[in-house]
Amino acid sequence: MLSEIEQFQKWLRRRAPHSSTYIHYANDLELFFMWLTVPVDRVTMKDVDAFIEHCQEKRHAIATINRRIAALCSFYRFLAMMSDDAPINPVRPKRHFIRPGRRLPRDAQDDELQRLFSVIELRRDRAMFLLMLRCGLRVGEVRNLSMNDLYLYSISSGLPRMWLRGKGDKERVVYLSSQALTALEAWLEIHANGNEPAVFINRSGKRLTVTGIQLQLAAYCQRAGVWITCHQLRHTFGRHLVEARVPVTTIQKLMGHARLRTTEIYLHISDQQVQADYEAAMEQVMERLSLTESVP
């Protein structure tokens, strides 16, 4: 790793110690300079153009490409802040950032969830994935969950809850459904007490990694014959709330969305009014034009 990238990574970590941005940005920068193989002060706008084209040829997601460009832009801003003779920032936002289309969240089907959870037997894993499905936790939030974040008992004002630190180091309160609480309590009964404050630990008693959690889910999916990601469990939580007619502002708070329009996307994947209007319209259309099949 270049010394400048190491300094940048340490600076990011000091500013937001609970965020994983410093990890992702450092990885993105290493990938860029391994691909380009030129000194930091010789990178040009056309080099950034070429890198974007390279990523697109590799069919990388737009969000991934934009994050890499954001990492590069932030890196050069950091260099400019640290030195008067820093190299010129080669990133031009209007030129390099790709405008993403509007994509709906990809949730999991209920029958797939039944098949998945039928093969999850370990108490730890069942608790982890139910927190995603029933409480809307991100995989990083599950990984970062510590024992002192849990308020399971003696809650005079209502439901058992958890304090989470989500994106942008913002805290929110998440309530536990009876199913998630039962699974979590079952895991805590056998949780090894030690110096590690993490709720979810591996066999060595250390906090699980995000990759470790994702690989564990992938192994269960292979056994169940389905493919569901951690984030799809969270998306399904959002869909279930919409189907239960929970107000969108409440869903926003429960999911930890900074913007209401992010939450409103979930209304489009399970809009009961649109479904009802469509069904009624098709009944009228078919009365006028039945298109019955002719018998050969």
**What type of residue is 208?**
L
Least confident among 206-215, 239-248, 256-265: 256-265
Average pLDDT, integer, range 171-195: 88
Q: How confident is the model at residue 244 (pLDDT cuts 50, 70, 90)?
A: confident
- The pLDDT assigned to 217 comes to 96
User: Model's pTM, two decimal places?
Assistant: 0.69
| β-bridge mates for residue 175, sequence order | 161
Catalytically active residues, by annotation:
138, 167, 231, 234, 257, 266
Find out whether 102 and 140 touch, Cβ atoms under 8 Å.
Answer: no
Q: What percentage of residues in the chain have a pLDDT greater than 90? A: 52
Distance CA 233, CA 240 (A): 11
- The pLDDT assigned to 257 comes to 85
Domains of the chain: 3-96 (1.10.150.130), 110-272 (1.10.443.10)
- The pLDDT assigned to 293 comes to 56
- The pLDDT assigned to 270 comes to 66
**pLDDT 10s digits, 65-119:** 999 999 999 999 999 999 889 999 999 999 999 987 666 667 889 999 999 999 9
